[in-house]
């Protein structure tokens, strides 16, 4: 995909909504030693809260999203809820690799596993596990961004997603945030160092 000598990697963080993966990914992005850049996903949904187009997501219309699917512009995409699409544009990953950086993803479970299958030799896939489903529900309610019906949909989806944890390379249990952050930094640093050594 990228024609330079830089052997760009994909760092995938997936989890049920409310598990804390976004907090972990933001922390990793602040570590200069890791040389990471965030892969901004495209979505057909409307912005929530203070989300910014081009920073949090590329907010595009349903029609535009579907034409990208038709043209094969996505590395992976999914209809998460009805008419609610999310996907990773190939050009986004190429853009980051061209900068000489590794790509980090904050992505749902199905998307994370698809990326892992597509690039098995240059991907590390990490599953962030919440302490429990009850704790997940408390966290989602605290956000105050969605009504009870949406929260219940997310909880139902989370139960299914938790069953996929063994398909990931690593599982980080996020019951103590500080510990989870430290574990994530060590894990990614170890993976990238190992890859560099193999590439020499």
> What mean pLDDT, rounded, does the chain reach?
91
Q: Which long-range contacts (CB under 8 A, 24 or more apart) does 41-47 make?
A: 41/86, 41/87, 41/88, 41/105, 41/107, 42/68, 42/74, 42/85, 42/86, 42/87, 42/88, 42/89, 43/84, 43/85, 43/86, 43/87, 44/83, 44/84, 44/85, 44/86, 45/84, 45/85
Question: pLDDT above 70 covers what percent of the chain?
Answer: 96
What does DSSP say about strands 36-38 and 102-107: parallel, antiparallel, or unpaired? parallel
Are the beta carbons of 172 and 129 closer than 8 angstroms? Answer: yes
CATH code, 10-192: 3.40.50.300
What does DSSP say about strands 102-107 and 170-173: parallel, antiparallel, or unpaired? unpaired
Phi, psi (rounded to 5 degrees) for 59? -85, 115
Global confidence as pTM? 0.87
Q: What is the pLDDT of residue 3?
A: 45
pLDDT in tens, 113-160: 999 999 999 999 999 998 888 888 888 888 877 888 888 888 888 888
């Amino acid at each position: 995909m990228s024609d330079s000598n830089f052997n760009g990697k994909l760092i995938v963080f997936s989890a049920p909504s409310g598990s804390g993966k976004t907090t972990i990914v933001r922390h990793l992005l602040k570590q200069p030693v890791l040389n990471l850049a965030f892969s901004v996903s495209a979505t057909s949904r409307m912005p929530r809260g203070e989300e910014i187009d081009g920073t949090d997501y590329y907010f595009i219309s349903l029609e535009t999203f579907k034409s990208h699917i038709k043209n094969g512009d996505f590395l992976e995409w999914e209809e998460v809820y009805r008419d609610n699409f999310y996907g990773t544009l190939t050009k986004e990953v190429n853009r980051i690799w061209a900068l000489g950086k590794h790509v980090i993803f904050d992505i749902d479970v199905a998307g994370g596993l698809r990326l892992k299958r597509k690039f098995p030799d240059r991907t590390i896939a990490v599953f962030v596990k919440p302490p429990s489903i009850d704790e997940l529900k408390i966290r989602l309610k605290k956000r105050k961004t969605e009504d009870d019906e949406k929260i219940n949909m997310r909880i139902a989806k989370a139960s299914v997603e938790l069953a996929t944890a063994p398909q990931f390379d690593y599982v980080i249990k996020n019951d103590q945030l500080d510990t989870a952050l430290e574990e994530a930094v060590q894990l990614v640093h170890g993976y990238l160092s190992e890859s560099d050594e193999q590439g020499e």
